[in-house]
Every structure is written in structure tokens, then in C-alpha cells.
Amino acid sequence: MDELRRGEPLTVPQLARLLGLDRQPVQRLVNDATALGLAESAPNPVLDELFAGADVYVIHPLWTSEAEVPSSQPVTGYWQSLLVVDDPDPEFRTYCHLFVARRPWRRGCIDESLRDIADDKVAGVLITDTRMQRIHHPYDGGADVFLTTSEERDRVRDRHADWLSRHPSGL
């Protein structure tokens, strides 16, 4: 706990390691502490590295059993719909309706979405550059990052090793 008293900013993975806990429950505690004004959110270095100075698409899926496009989400526009499960019985068909917002990347521009993801209010959100070459898929307790080459993947992995799972399988 002396580390915390020194006032040095820590990432959630560093704090989890310091406390000997998994990242996911520590992330929830940090989110709660931030909402209560007891902690301060700092920039996500992976997102900044991937998207600094560029526009991004933030894609929100909405899953339904109806082909009809639901009304647009407040901050996004309709993009496209996908028939994911084409069952002969219409009741069992599954559609994924995609809504997208284009915005300039700046620190904090998706913090609300990240909090909603951590709180299990939304899932399946994708953040991507406008050429869709780099994709960040955040979920409760972590994120998947898809990059253009294995070399780029390895460089990002090495720079952010403290963000990786300690589980032998990497999960």
C-alpha cells in the first residue's frame, strides 16, 4: 500500500499486480471509485497509441430477432444489418444491426462507452480507424486488439506487457 501513498499513478494492471488480484475485479473497483470521485481516470495508452491524431469509428451492435432496423441510437447513425442466424422459423432468426459514429480521437472521447462496457450495459463495441485496419474491442476486464501485421502486434504487445493476462493461455 506504500506504492499507493506515494502518489505515483498506476494503471489498473499495475494496481492488480500490486494487490495480487486479477485485473477484472480491480477494474470494477476503479470504475466505482472514479464514479464516486475517489479516483481519477487516466488516458488509455493503447488507444492513444492506436488512434492519436486520427478519426475513429465507434461501432455499436444491437442484436434483435427482427429484420426491421431499430430506431437509431442517440449518438450514432445506422450503418448496416447482418442476418447472423438464418433459421427457417422467423422467430429464431437473429439480426445484428450496426450503428456507427465517426469522431476525432481525443483522450476521454469514449470513456462513457468504456464505463458502460465495464458495467455490462453494452457489449460488442468496436473502435477502429477509418480504414478499419486497427480494431480495439473492449470488454469487461480487458480488450482485444487487432492490428495490421504480426510485427505491429508484437511491438504493441511488448510495449504494453503489463496489460496482458497472467493466465498461461493468455485469457
3-state secondary structure 9-37: CCCHHHHHHHHCCCHHHHHHHHHHHHHCC
Q: What is the mean pLDDT of each run of 10 residues along the chain (171 residues)?
A: 59 77 79 79 79 94 91 78 93 93 90 84 93 92 89 89 73 60
pLDDT score for 91: 87
pLDDT score for 112: 84
Number of H helices, E strands in the chain: 6, 6
Backbone angles phi, psi at 77, to 5 degrees: -115, 155
